[in-house]
Structure 1
Amino acid sequence: MATRCRRARAVSGTVLMEKKVEFKFVLVDLYKGDQKQSEYMKKQPFGQVPYLDDDGFIVFESRAICRYICAKFPDQGTPLVPTEIKAKALFEQACSIEYSNFDQFASNAVAEKVFKPMRGLTSNDELAASLLSTLDKKLEGYEAILSKQKYLAGDEITLADLFHLSYGSMLSMIGFNGLESEEKPNVARWWKDITSRESWQAVKDGLNV
């Protein structure tokens, strides 16, 4: 349930499957402190998860991992990063949208309502409510964009869409249904689309591949 573990599993795993790349998922037991052991920190100096080991070449930070996978296998599986200059500009714009207008609100709300109680801490319900209220307003921008195109960067799915899966999939756990609301039909259509993908369905409850 750790946030970075979820992104490693949900996003990196989904991208690996979209790109049809064989891989092995290695469990890091955060409760036992595996991520702080010296051997682990030689690979990930911040003692965090995930990292990717590609025959000795180490990449960490989930978004960097996903971009590396797409760059290494550009013609394999689903094209998730466009190469045409204008399409790539819209892709980078969409990635920035996710990072600036979605992730910081969704992830912090989930941290307050899910992960703090798991650690025996008291959640700040007022802060969580404020974050979710802001997120709901941000989704109005999503609705405007998605009323004109199928995905955030255009009519083809990209990493920018998949980056939403890890925290977006947890929002209903804390009572936020803005991604499925009839008030934002294009957001709901988009969310149903990306969460229905075979790659996500295969990894969302655990990697058994």
Structure 2
Amino acid sequence: MVKLYGFSPSTCTRLVALICKEKEIPYELISVNLGKGEQKDASFTAVQPFGQVPYIDDNGFFLYESRAIARYLIKNYPNQGTPGLIPSDAKAEALFEQAASIETFNFNAFVAPIVFEKLFKPRRGLQPNEERVAELLAALQGKMDTYDLILSKQKYLAGDSVTLADLSHLPYGAAFYQIGFSEVFDSRPNLSRWWKDISNRPAWLAVKDGA
């Protein structure tokens, strides 16, 4: 059983839990209390030197960084759960890598800081930088127009099969959607169709409220 050291509500911890669910990999969540700063304890940083959640212990193999963990789990457990989350064919894999890069630089780069400003800062008693949010949101709109165009031609970002590139949008995308920016998705028909598809996957519904 994979041991997942993380914080149940955290976006990165839930991404790893999501992939475990998709690949039918049993896991045990070892809770790390971020409020108490347990991620900075020496026992934690001995494995994750940046003091961030999550990391995994897969039968003595330790790995941190949620994107790396997700890729490892998909490749290390190829014969169970959802197939093809990282394609093996060279051209299909290249299209997946293209889609993964799209998510990193054209979605997460804008959505994650908006979520930080509008959700995480208020939880800490801090005021969001609304000017920063407005700038990020304005830049994101054009990116989402391009998503809508891509998704008018195919079902998912890498083609007609779901991949990790699609699923990686879920933790931050769900938070973004729920804090008042649903129109960004809902106003674009192809983007909306895609979002409803991936956000209603059973694996995501199982972890959307906590890993």
Report the residue type matching 1:147 in the other structure: S
Structure 1 stretches (4+) deviating beyond 6 angstroms?
Answer: none
Give the aligned partner of residue 107 of structure 2: 102
Residue aligned with 2:10, SS: helix
Which ranges of structure 2 fall in alignment gaps of 5 or more residues?
A: 1-6
Deviations 1:44-64 (A, max 9, x none): 111110001111211100000
> Is the CA contact 1:142–1:187 (under 8 Å) kept in the aligned structure 2?
yes
Give the aligned partner of residue 34 of structure 2: 30
Deviations 1:24-45 (A, max 9, x none): 1111101111111111111111
In the TM superposition, residue 196 of structure 1 has moved relative to its aligned partner by 0.5
> Is the CA contact 1:4–1:50 (under 8 Å) kept in the aligned structure 2?
no
1:113-152 mapped onto 2 (5 Å cutoff): 113-152=118-157
CA distance in 1, matches of 2:174, 2:31: 21
Relative to the length of structure 2, the TM-score reads 0.92
Structure 2 residue corresponding to 1:177, chosen from 182, 199, 203: 182
Relative to the length of structure 1, the TM-score reads 0.93
Counting matched residue pairs gives: 204
Matched, 1:57 2:73: no
CA distance in 2, matches of 1:137, 1:174: 20
CA distance in 2, matches of 1:120, 1:16: 33
In the TM superposition, residue 179 of structure 1 has moved relative to its aligned partner by 4.7
RMSD: 1.5
Matched, 1:164 2:165: no
> Is the CA contact 1:136–1:178 (under 8 Å) kept in the aligned structure 2?
no
> Is the CA contact 2:48–2:55 (under 8 Å) kept in the aligned structure 1?
yes
Give the aligned partner of residue 68 of structure 1: 72
The structure that is strand-richer by fraction is 2
Residue aligned with 1:176, SS: helix
> Is the CA contact 1:179–1:191 (under 8 Å) kept in the aligned structure 2?
no
In the TM superposition, residue 180 of structure 1 has moved relative to its aligned partner by 3.3
Matched, 1:18 2:58: no
CA distance in 2, matches of 1:3, 1:115: 15
> Is the CA contact 2:87–2:93 (under 8 Å) kept in the aligned structure 1?
yes
Residue aligned with 1:24, SS: strand
Report the residue type matching 2:72 in the other structure: Y
Matched, 1:5 2:10: yes
Which ranges of structure 1 fall in alignment gaps of 5 or more residues?
A: none
CA distance in 2, matches of 1:165, 1:179: 15
